[in-house]
Amino acid sequence: MTQVYLHEHNDIDIRFIYEFDPGEPEVLYHEDGSGHPGSAPSITILFAYIHLNDSLERSVDVNILPILNEFHDVDIDNIHDLILEWHAEN
């Protein structure tokens, strides 16, 4: 299921659209003696939208994820961590 995380950066709102996987709990033993070590929660960021105006001054959403690495002061790893922390707290 896709979810939205709003992040403000230099007075610009960036809407991150992502999928959240809550992970799986550890299972030490089944009746047959097998087990599962579990897995940590994870996210996959699908889009990063900002609002801009086009040449006719209409508001449009623009996906900046493909060029987000060009924003030297936006750390995508930090965004991942912030989203995971939000899920852990809620």
Calpha distance 39→51 (Å, rounded): 36
If you average pLDDT over residues 37-42, what whole number do you get?
A: 91
**What integer best gives the mean pLDDT of the chain?**
90
Res. 34 pLDDT band, cuts 50 70 90: confident
Question: Letter for the amino acid at 88?
Answer: A
Q: What share of the chain in percent tops pLDDT 70?
A: 100
If you average pLDDT over residues 4-28, what whole number do you get?
A: 92
Q: How do the domains of the chain map onto residue ranges?
A: 2-89
Place of tokens 């852990």: 88
Is pTM beyond 0.75? Reply is yes
Res. 19 pLDDT band, cuts 50 70 90: very high
Selection from 82, 46, 37, 80 nearest residue 64 by Cα: 46
- Residue 11 backbone zone (phi > 0: left; psi -120 to 50: alpha; other: beta): left
Res. 73 pLDDT band, cuts 50 70 90: confident
